[in-house]
Amino acid sequence: MSTSQSQASPGRLLRVDLTAGKVSAERVDERTLRKYVGGATLGVRLLLDEVPPGVEWSDPGNHLFLGSGPLGGTKVGGSGAVAVVTKGALTGGIASTQANGFFGAFLRFCGFDGIVVQGASPDWVYLHIQDGTVEMKNAAHLVGKNNFEVNDLLRRDLGKKERQASILSIGPAGENLVRFASIFVDLGHIAAHNGVGAVMGSKKLKAIIVDRGKRTVPLQDRESLSQTAKEIEANTMANKVYAEMASVGTLGGMITMTKVGIIPVKNYTTSIFAIPPDKLSTYSPEYIRRQFRARPSPCWACPARHCHTMQIPEGKYAGRVVEEPEYEALAAFSSLVGIDAVTTTMVLTNEVDRLGMDANEMGWVIAWLMECTEKGILTSQDTDGLEMTWGNGEAIMAMMDRIARRQGFGDVLAEGVMRAARRVGGEATALAVHTEKGNSPRGHDHRVKWLELFDTCVSSMGTLEVHSFAPYALLGMPPVFDDFDPQQVSAVEARIKGAMLFEDSMVTCRFRTATALDLLCKAVNSAAGWDMDVNEAMVVGRRAANMARVFNLRHGIGPELDRPSMRYGSTPLDGAAAGRAIMPHWDAMLANYYHLMGWDKKGRPLEKTLSDLGLADIVPYLAAIQSQDRGS
């Protein structure tokens, strides 16, 4: 396929039919763009329209949407991100997750706002998108290669230096349909949640490389947008938490979360990470960046010193180049699995990236396995001779490789912690940390943060739909509430629902724009010539939440799954939340949340709610869901 436009135009999507081996371009009209904006909301709408009930995550009929937003490729910091939306492998419902880097910006420079991938190729392929052409190429030589190797091979084959192209890929885990396989962008950026890499693998699509095209992003008022980008940056730096992240990234989370008792420890068997101060200090940003020879590697248009390329200084992996890990990966391979040696942690965070899996789910899988081993539920005879004891980094390394290749007991673990626990059965099911939909939480002890625990369980996306740093003042809400008040928590969940999803539809880095909902509106107005305000932005985000809910209901994911597993919802025995029990309040919290969301008692959006959001056309789906309920 070839094109000849010299300037990008908004709303162009590239549709790739892997079954037919064809690519085509289509346009999203202005009215639809304003209604759904881009990224998450546009992707959810597409899935709702084109992936009917009965299509499983691994079916060729499932779609994989990769989208930028209206600010992609502009001067707004972190606007090179990409949103990934599909039917996820862990929950069987909507998956919506993002990765930073350059892909979204470069895609727009090539004239597209997004890619719709459908069907499945009979053989492994990759896509090469250039300024004016899209080619589907044989990827046989990339099969079995890890993400770092794919990056090196494609750049060598196509003669592309580091900033001349952006590469999106899956590792061996995605090829082997590991349910928590992720999609990796420019090495250090990961669309991690709900098995999106497994979906890409089911289509035999190994990678997409996008050249830095020569088209300019269409902007209605370039000067105004430039000024707003500066205001967004100033707003970010005025926030103490985000200003610190601009300097040290999320590395500082290890020490902070340990001190406040939110770090996850040994599969929630305790809430206290009893690590000596001298060892804890080795997890500080200062030590890690000095010890591992950090070199800045920022994302598109981002002035922050968040991302770095590093090098393992010693041991059997000495000299290996790695990417600076996020806090959650550090927690997954330290406190969660009983490791207190930072070099071991760094090697493991790098290996899970190379193989192509979500560090969060991997942490919960390994932690569950280690507790099962400690309790004698599983032995080394079950785990291919590996001693899966707390802190055994070499065993973790070996088991991760087995999981990625679905070998031995790794084939069981490749299903994710919920399904692995149910496969083992008995007491093992009571030890697994996950939602009843099938996804695991992010890298915190959510029993200390009820908002995130509740949100993770009621989310339709397979990950968080709201965040603690919502723009409360803009939404007319006090920024402080009782973290352990069930009515307050469930009310906050409903009232801020939409803000984070709007950000995910703009497809900008949360660390640069999370507290600036009004400024994001100002930016998109400069870019698109709209007059959007915060109220309209919230409606966009609420459309995403409600459409995702309807999609999931149609695909058999009902309100009975809006719950945590036994261990995830357990009462802490020690630490900051000792004795705080959420489960006695759970049903009342759900009822309050459903009511405030405009849903019925079964968690189904009311007809009026959908109509008020401009979604009257999907009301018939509700009738079909209700009919199924009566029939069952």
Percent of the chain clearing pLDDT 90 (strictly above)? 89
Provide the pLDDT for residue 483: 94
Q: What is the mean pLDDT of residues 466-492?
A: 92
pTM as predicted? 0.97
Token pair of 180, please?
A: 């928590």
Question: Among the listed ranges 4-18, 151-165, 374-388, 501-515, which one has the minimum average pLDDT value?
Answer: 4-18
Strand 82-87 with 165-169, pairing: unpaired
Bridge partners (DSSP) listed for residue 383: none
Provide the pLDDT for residue 477: 93
Q: List, in order, residues 6 or more apart from 437 with CB less than 8 Å away.
A: 90, 91, 92, 93, 457, 462, 557, 561
Bridge partners (DSSP) listed for residue 308: 296
Cα distance between residue 18 and residue 159, in whole Å: 25
Task: Please say if the pLDDT value at position 2 is more than 50.
Answer: no
Instruction: Give the model's confidence band at 467: pLDDT under 50 very low, under 70 low, under 90 confident, else very high.
Output: confident
Q: What is the mean pLDDT of residues 132-139?
A: 94
Cα distance between residue 308 and residue 293, in whole Å: 9
CA atoms within 13 A on the CB side of 615: 30
pLDDT, tens only, 545-578: 999 999 999 999 999 999 999 999 999 999 999 9
Task: Please say if the pLDDT value at position 602 is more than 90.
Answer: yes
Q: How far is CA 542 from CA 373, 456, 468, 586, in A?
A: 44, 17, 17, 23
Cα distance between residue 189 and residue 225, in whole Å: 26
Helix (H, G, I), strand (E, B) or coil at 214: coil
Percent of the chain clearing pLDDT 70 (strictly above)? 97
For the chain, how many helices (H) and strands (E)? 27, 15
Cα distance between residue 179 and residue 174, in whole Å: 8
Task: Please say if the pLDDT value at position 268 is more than 50.
Answer: yes
Provide the pLDDT for residue 3: 41
Determine contact, residues 87/310, Cβ cutoff 8 Å: no
Determine contact, residues 554/624, Cβ cutoff 8 Å: yes
Task: Please say if the pLDDT value at position 95 is more than 60.
Answer: yes
Task: Please say if the pLDDT value at position 5 is more than 50.
Answer: no
Amino acid, res. 350? N
* Closest residue by Cα to residue 244 from 273, 301, 275, 284: 284
Q: Which residue has the higher pLDDT, 103 or 243?
A: 103
Q: What is the mean pLDDT of the chain?
A: 95
Task: Please say if the pLDDT value at position 48 is more than 60.
Answer: yes
Strand 12-17 with 114-118, pairing: parallel
Question: Among the listed ranges 2-16, 172-186, 317-331, 532-546, which one has the minimum average pLDDT value?
Answer: 2-16
Provide the pLDDT for residue 624: 81
Q: Where are the domains of the chain?
A: 12-211, 240-431, 446-631
Task: Please say if the pLDDT value at position 4 is more than 50.
Answer: no
Q: What is the mean pLDDT of residues 46-52?
A: 98
Bridge partners (DSSP) listed for residue 184: 169, 190
Token pair of 67, please?
A: 């989208």
* Fold entry, domain 240-431: 1.10.569
Q: What is the mean pLDDT of residues 352-379?
A: 98
pLDDT, tens only, 187-246: 889 999 999 999 999 999 999 999 999 999 999 999 999 999 999 999 988 988 888 888
Q: Which residue has the higher pLDDT, 316 or 438?
A: 438
Task: Please say if the pLDDT value at position 631 is more than 70.
Answer: no
449 burial via Cβ count (<10 Å: 0-12, 13-18, 19+): buried
CATH superfamily of 12-211: Aldehyde ferredoxin oxidoreductase, N-terminal domain (3.60.9.10)
pLDDT, tens only, 75-88: 999 999 999 999 99
Q: What is the mean pLDDT of residues 496-515?
A: 90
Encode burial over 534-572: b for 16+ CB neighbours within 10 A, e otherwise.
Answer: beebbbbbbbbbbbbbbbbbbbebebebbbbbebbbbeb
Q: Tokens 């902070």: give the residue.
A: 256
Pick the CATH number of 446-631 from 1.20.1250.20, 1.10.599.10, 1.10.3720.10, 1.20.1730.10: 1.10.599.10
Question: Among the listed ranges 123-127, 215-219, 433-437, which one has the minimum average pLDDT value?
Answer: 215-219
Instruction: Give the model's confidence band at 629: pLDDT under 50 very low, under 70 low, under 90 confident, else very high.
Output: low
What's the alpha-carbon Rg for the chain, to the nearest Å?
23
Q: What is the mean pLDDT of residues 590-610?
A: 97
